[in-house]
Amino acid sequence: MDTLLIKGGKSLRGTVKISGAKNAALPILASTILSRGTSIIHNVPQLSDVDVIVQILSSLGVAVHRRSDQALVCCVNEETSYAAPSELVKKMRASICVLGPLLAKRKKARIAFPGGCVIGDRPIDLHLKGMEALGAHVQVENNHIELTAQKLNGNSIYLGSSFGSTVLGTANVMMAAVLARGKTTIKNAACEPEVEELAKFLNKMGAQISGIGSRTLIIEGVDELRGTEHRIISDRIEAGTFMIAAAMTRGSVELLNANPLYLQSIITTLKKMGTVIVEESNRIVVEGKDNYLPVSIETTPYPGFPTDLQAQLTSMLTIIPGVSCVTEKIYPHRFAYVKELLKMGACIEQKKASVYIEGIKTLKGTTVFASDLRASAALVLAGLVAVGETQIKQIHHIQRGYENLQVKLSYLGADINYK
């Protein structure tokens, strides 16, 4: 079951329902540590990354169960544990999200340096800088970080690196600051929809966060938070992946539960290339074309073109006549999939953090290896248009971020099966 077999050449047609956003669900689930009582979270996708955060929460005294309507019910039963199990933390970068909540609520947090997708250096210095600014004592030893603070105090914190803002760093500092004494200002905050979503969830639990969705977040600390009920937004990266799949296979796909507001950069890019896209409040229709134009893009923080769609767009550009260029500004080494596309006949040259793609007529099916989540998606897209059969090995990565991808693609007419 760790190999996907795709027989290429089918245009995708029909309707697909986009799942809840993984990158919104993970920090929101972690934030339940901050509250008393029970929270009910709807539209949480069934993914291996969600399983990991649920297991971490269970080990930290938060009981989580999935109801028959798919909602996750989270209830804090015990508040003495403060150390996240290393074997789980090493599986997923987003495990770092428990740091802020543990420190704020339990005055102590211990966590191994997190693992996750292999997409280049992923430091956590900004997370730690934020916690220190709030008054935490940070100790690093044996590849573990331990933070302590009897009481956190609000402060003004600039969170940024040469790669821009930090999504989970902003989430972590915001989650620590909601229970700090006084006012915290986060400057250069990430304004990805998933960060906005976390802030809204925290406010529903009783936090006082303003400036939501902007580069400056202002947080007035409160004494305690209560459980609440919330519905996770749809996954803009899953939606973007299906949009590219529809365009690339010259198909016609209706996406339900997809918010075009969060997808403007990919919509603009695909339209510039010649795709016809209809946008409604929670529905997008993508009509593929026979002829597309090449394009040049660079990935930047939201609302720019997302790094999480970089590999999928590059995959499409391999079959668009002319020369396209894709520059990665957030994770300059996020090109592990390129050598796999080359095996399929693609014509791609990498120069530092840019790839130049000369479009060819067709890719050819062969055996390729998935190295991370979005690389897996890029190879699936390539397989959908390749001549003959593509075998994608190590496909387990895809289950980290795409709910039922094989079923959804089959439903749209793709010939795709697990082996």
Contact map string, positions 94 to 123, toward ligand EPZ, x by CB under 6 A? x----------------------x---xxx
Q: Which of 176, 357, 373, 375 binds ligand EPZ (CB under 6 A)?
A: 373
Q: Which amino acid is at 9?
A: G
Asked if 239 interacts with ligand EPZ (CB under 6 A), we say no
Q: Which residue in 97, 117, 325, 347 is the catalytic one?
A: 117
Size of the site for ligand EPZ (CB under 6 A): 27
Q: Which amino acid is at 156?
A: S
Burial 336-358 (b: 16+ CB within 10 A, else e): bbbebbebbbbebeeeebbbbbb
Contact map string, positions 267 to 306, toward ligand EPZ, x by CB under 6 A? ----------------------------------------
Question: Taking the complex as a whole, how short is the minimal distance between the CB of residue 400 and ligand EPZ, in angstroms?
Answer: 8
Tell me if residue 117 is catalytic: yes
The residue among 249, 241, 231 whose CA lies nearest residue 290 is 249
CB nearer to ligand EPZ: give 117 or 205: 117
Distance CA 221, CA 317 (A): 48
Q: Which amino acid is at 68?
A: S
For residue 42, list its beta bridge partners: 231
Contact map string, positions 12 to 51, toward ligand EPZ, x by CB under 6 A? -----------x--x-------------------------
Maximum distance among all alpha carbons in the chain? 63
Asked if 88 interacts with ligand EPZ (CB under 6 A), we say no
Asked if 331 interacts with ligand EPZ (CB under 6 A), we say yes
Question: Taking the complex as a whole, how short is the minimal distance between the CB of residue 119 and ligand EPZ, in angstroms?
Answer: 6
CA trace torsion 7, 11, 17, 23 (10° rounding):
60
Sign of the alpha-carbon torsion through 159, 164, 168, 171 = positive
Distance CA 4, CA 398 (A): 10
Which stretches of the chain bind ligand EPZ, using CB under 6 A?
23, 26, 93-94, 117, 121-127, 161, 163, 166-169, 190, 194, 307-308, 330-331, 373-374, 401
